[in-house]
Structures are given as C-alpha cells and as structure tokens.
C-alpha cells in the first residue's frame, strides 16, 4: 500500500481514531465535529481506494486494508520522529564536529528531555548529538550508543549507571472532563471513569494493585503527545509526571487514596565507552532536570 498523495493530516486523524476507538473522542481531542472526522475517513478511503473500517461501533473493526494502513502510519511517524530529532539536535556546524555522542532515550522520556539536550548544545557546540528512541535496554544497544537515558537503570558488571532525578506521579484530568464528571472521590470510584493510557508507560511501577484493579475503561494510545492532548481536551483521566502540567495548562493534577510511586530518570553507559564528554552531558542533565 502506497501513501503517495495521501493527506498527512487525514492519516493522523485515522491513527487517532484507531487509538481512541471512538469518533466522539477524536472530535474532542482535536476540537472538531464528528461529521468532520467521518468525512476525513471517507476521503481517506476514497483516496486509497479501499474500505478501512468495517463498522462505526465501539470497538472499531478495521478491514485488512485498515490494519495495514495503521501499521504504515506507525512506521511513518517513527521515521519522521527520528528525522525530526536528528535535525533538532544537530548544530549548524555538525559536519565540522570532531566529537559525536550517540544517545538513546526511552520513549516516555523523549518529550521531557528533548529541550534540555537541545539547550546543552549551546554550552558544548563542538559536540554533535544524535538522538534515537528505545523501549528496552540491552548490552547490544549500550555497545552501539554512548549514553542511554531511561526510567530504570541497567544493572550489569560492564555498565555504569547514574541516578539523575525523581518526579512525582499524579492523576491528571482535563478542565472539560472535570466540569462534566468531577474528580473521583474514592479508589473504588475509578471504575466509573475513562482512562487514557500511554502505551510505553509501565503503570504497575506507579500504581498499587488496588488502583490498577479499579481502572476498567481504558483507552491506550501509543503516541505520548496525542495521549496528553486527549487528556487536556477532556477525553479522560491520565497518570503522568506532575511537571507535565507546565506544558499542558488545561490539565489539573490530583491525588486519591494511596499516593502514586515516583517517576525516576537514570543514565546507563558502557564502561568501555565512558569518557569526559559523556560525564559532562550527564552532569548537565542532573543539574537541569
């Protein structure tokens, strides 16, 4: 299936629809009417020449072409993210840089640390930094990358790990959802609320079993930014680091019952690759985070 000539915005709407499983929630997330969402999907089907959705009920049932298109959009977004990050983190004289540092960041931490590392370049313009994303740390990855930044340290005899910082995890609720449904008053009342889950968050690391067992209405979204926008737009409740609200002013944080466990950031470096520039970057991040 080729995506040549297909409107990029319509592709993102289709992906969001697949993630949220609801025309009404997509409409809320992007502040549009349900009829506009439907027209976008119909236009997309006409352009591609195949039916993408078998029914409009919840849960949505994708046709084989719909499933294939969703997979292609995921791959396309991953490629675009990698290209975009490489462009953002390259300084103007990267071709003349003698020092190159290859960093891999957990998907969950990507949006948190991006601006910090970009800011780093103004202090060390002689360094060219290449950023990629990962969901898993392995020795193979550590041998290929100079620095890996994740939620959890990688414990190995040949790896040096450092703790950077810890952040408070909170329940997050959008202004519109709050007006309509209010705050959950008890852990047991969580079952009556809609929850937006970010695919790469390890929720069992933040929540007790009691809280997890009481969350039943889940909408899992693979894209972190789309999930945060959905929470901000009032599509449901989320669980996120408290500092996220600095960027999303429509999200209010709250606690209920047992407090959530903190969100930690660690660095892992192969001892074979450790050098003074990696130490500089690690120290800079520790001071800035």
pLDDT of residue 88: 44
Average pLDDT value for the chain: 79
Residue 87 has pLDDT above 60, yes or no: no
Sequence-distant (≥ 6) Cβ neighbours of residue 56 within 8 angstroms? 23, 38
Same fold, 90-166+264-288 and 169-261: yes
- Greater pLDDT, 170 or 2: 170
pLDDT 10s digits, 202-242? 677 778 888 888 988 888 887 777 788 889 888 999 988 77
pLDDT of residue 76: 65
CA trace torsion 151, 168, 192, 23 (10° rounding):
-60
> What CATH number does the domain located at 169-261 have?
3.40.190.10
> How many whole angstroms separate alpha carbon 41 and alpha carbon 105?
34
Give the domain ranges of the chain: 8-75, 90-166+264-288, 169-261
CA of 128: how far to CAs of 98, 131, 256, in Å? 8, 10, 45
Residue 173 has pLDDT above 90, yes or no: yes
Average pLDDT over residues 132-145: 81
Sequence-distant (≥ 6) Cβ neighbours of residue 101 within 8 angstroms? 127, 128, 129, 130, 146, 147, 277, 278, 281
Average pLDDT over residues 187-202: 84
Residue 6 — very low, low, confident or very high, per pLDDT cuts 50/70/90? low
Average pLDDT over residues 43-58: 82
Query: What are 252's strand-pairing partners?
Result: 173
Assess if CATH 3.20.20.70 describes domain 90-166+264-288: no
Residue 99 has pLDDT above 50, yes or no: yes
CATH topology for 8-75 is: Arc Repressor Mutant, subunit A (1.10.10)
pLDDT of residue 118: 65
């Amino acid at each position: 299936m080729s995506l040549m000539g297909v409107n990029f915005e319509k592709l993102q709407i289709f992906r969001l629809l697949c993630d949220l499983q609801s025309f009404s929630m997509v409409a809320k997330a992007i502040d549009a009417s349900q009829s506009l969402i439907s027209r976008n999907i119909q236009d997309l089907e006409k352009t591609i020449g195949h039916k993408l959705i078998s029914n409009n009920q919840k849960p949505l049932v994708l046709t084989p072409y719909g499933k294939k298109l969703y997979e292609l959009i995921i791959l396309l977004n991953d490629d675009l993210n990698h290209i975009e990050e490489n462009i953002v983190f390259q300084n103007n004289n990267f071709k003349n840089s003698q020092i190159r540092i290859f960093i891999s960041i957990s998907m969950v931490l990507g949006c948190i640390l991006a601006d910090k590392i970009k800011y780093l370049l103004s202090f060390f313009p002689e360094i060219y930094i290449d950023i990629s994303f990962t969901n898993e740390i392995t020795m193979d990855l550590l041998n290929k990358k100079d620095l890996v930044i994740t939620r959890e340290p990688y414990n190995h005899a040949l790896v040096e790990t450092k703790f950077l910082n810890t952040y408070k995890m909170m329940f997050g609720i959008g202004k519109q959802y709050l007006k309509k449904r209010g705050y959950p008053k008890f852990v047991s009342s969580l079952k009556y609320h809609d929850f937006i889950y970010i695919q790469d968050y390890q929720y069992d690391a933040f929540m007790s079993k009691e809280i997890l067992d009481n969350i039943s209405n889940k909408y899992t979204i693979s894209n972190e930014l789309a999930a945060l926008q959905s929470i901000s737009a009032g599509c449901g409740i989320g669980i996120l680091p408290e500092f996220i609200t600095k960027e999303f002013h429509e999200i209010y944080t709250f606690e209920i019952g047992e407090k959530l466990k903190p969100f930690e950031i660690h660095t892992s470096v192969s001892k074979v690759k450790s050098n003074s520039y990696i130490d500089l970057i690690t120290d800079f991040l520790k001071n800035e985070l």
